[in-house]
Amino acid sequence: MSAQSQLQGIRDELPPSMRRVADAVLADPHRVLHGTIAELATAGSTSEPTVVRLCQRLGMSGYSELRLSLAAELASEQVRRPAVGATHGADLPTDSSLAQIVADVALTETLGIEETAAALDVTALEQAVEALCEAPVVLLHGISASASVAGDFERKLQRIGRIASSLPDTHDALAAAALMRPGQVALGLSHGGATDEVAAFLAQARRAGATTVAVTNSRSGPVVAEADVVLRTTVRESAYRSGAMASRSAQLLVMDCLFVAIAQRRREASVRALRMTYDALEEYRRT
């Protein structure tokens, strides 16, 4: 996992002084390449020892290792940008051409997918697949962009004959979760891991005896605390990306991995269901 992705993943659990340093790095990683530890400490309105502690939080010995790690990351990203160039990580640059915007969005989403795939906990994924395969009912809840990902997974499961419901309204989700039973699965999606509605949904389902699964970019927080199984994405989402672009793509990757694994476990039934649902729609399909 890249240093920038690690910083974004642990940002919300850092103390204020270390968080300011993390924000300074994420806002301008080139600052570390061309500046001193004292300059980074000043940018974060804190001290040099705090910068060192943040580096150690990332598993690094100190500032020099952080600088080397960021140099490698930024060089790799630069090579992967199209010749038109991109402004990856910047906040809505005023002079970007349309071609640069395309390059920036493509790079950001590609990095999110690749880093999520590389860092995804296969053991946790296996646990989630086992629970979902055995579950007679699956309930899904996410807010905003995460709700669209939950809806996509709902439709995929239904196409292979599984009983799944995506409930974007929190009141509906809480009421349904209260009636869950052991063996059923409640899956909540929250990029930041601090969505109170999703945490409440998982908590209610857990009290009812259901298995709870969270898909999140965070290592801690209320959503993680209420999950029996945590599937983590690895995404760097810039502040201006209110549409949650890279996080949505990474979530879709995790959900698609779950879907393919579930369909594979029940291959004959899944193929039969896909064929039946395809045939049912044949009359309405336009060529």
Cα 36 from Cα 42, distance rounded (Å): 10
* Residues forming a β-bridge with 188: 141, 214
**Domains by residue range for the chain, with CATH:** 3-118 (1.10.10.10), 121-281 (3.40.50.10490)
Q: Which tens digit of pLDDT belongs to each residue from 46-94?
A: 999 999 999 999 999 999 999 999 998 888 877 766 554 545 554 556 6
Task: Classify strands 229-232 and 185-190 as parallel, antiparallel or unpaired.
Answer: unpaired
The pLDDT score that the predictor gives to residue 50 is 96
193-217 as b/e: b if 16+ CB within 10 A: bbbebbbbbbbbbbebebbbbbbbb
The pLDDT score that the predictor gives to residue 240 is 47
The pLDDT score that the predictor gives to residue 158 is 96
- More confident site: 267 or 287: 267
Cα 25 from Cα 7, distance rounded (Å): 9
Q: pTM of the predicted model, to two decimals?
A: 0.82
The pLDDT score that the predictor gives to residue 243 is 45
The pLDDT score that the predictor gives to residue 43 is 93
CB of 215 within 8 A of CB of 191? no
Q: Which tens digit of pLDDT belongs to each residue from 241-277?
A: 544 678 899 999 999 999 999 999 989 999 999 999 9
Cα 283 from Cα 287, distance rounded (Å): 11
